[in-house]
């Protein structure tokens, strides 16, 4: 995973199912992202940023269909 430098944007999405955090998606820049599963917190998976956004969008769509079961928490910041 690329190291996040000063000024690079970071988008973080916390994906929740039934009140429990399932995974955290960090988009580091326009090309790189990581997905950290709650079950494997020490082994984040590297993804293309676009695939990570697609995954978050699918989770968001599911949350629209079942709003009390699925949730996307979003945070955006510049480091």
Domain presence at residue 36: yes
- Please write the tens of the pLDDT for every residue from 2-20: 554 444 558 999 999 999 9
Q: Which domain holds residue 71?
A: 9-78
Whether residue 4 lies inside any domain: the answer is no
Specify whether the backbone of 52 is left (phi greater than 0), alpha (psi in -120 to 50) or beta.
alpha
What gap in Å lies between CA 5 and CA 41, rounded to an integer? 22
Structural domain total, the chain = 1
- pLDDT attached to residue 76: 82
Arithmetic mean of pLDDT, 51-56: 96
Residue 1 in any domain: the answer is: no
Q: How far apart are alpha carbons 71 and 14 in whole angstroms?
A: 8
Residue 2 lies in a domain: no
Position 78 scores a pLDDT of: 62
This model's pTM is above 0.95: no
């Amino acid at each position: 995973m690329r190291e996040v430098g000063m000024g690079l944007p970071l988008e973080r999405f916390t994906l929740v199912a039934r009140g429990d955090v399932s995974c955290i998606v960090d988009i580091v820049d326009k090309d790189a992202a990581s997905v950290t599963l709650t079950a494997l917190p020490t082994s984040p998976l590297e993804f293309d940023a676009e695939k990570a956004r697609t995954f978050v969008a699918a989770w968001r769509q599911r949350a629209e269909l079942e709003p009390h079961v699925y949730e996307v928490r979003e945070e955006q910041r510049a480091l």
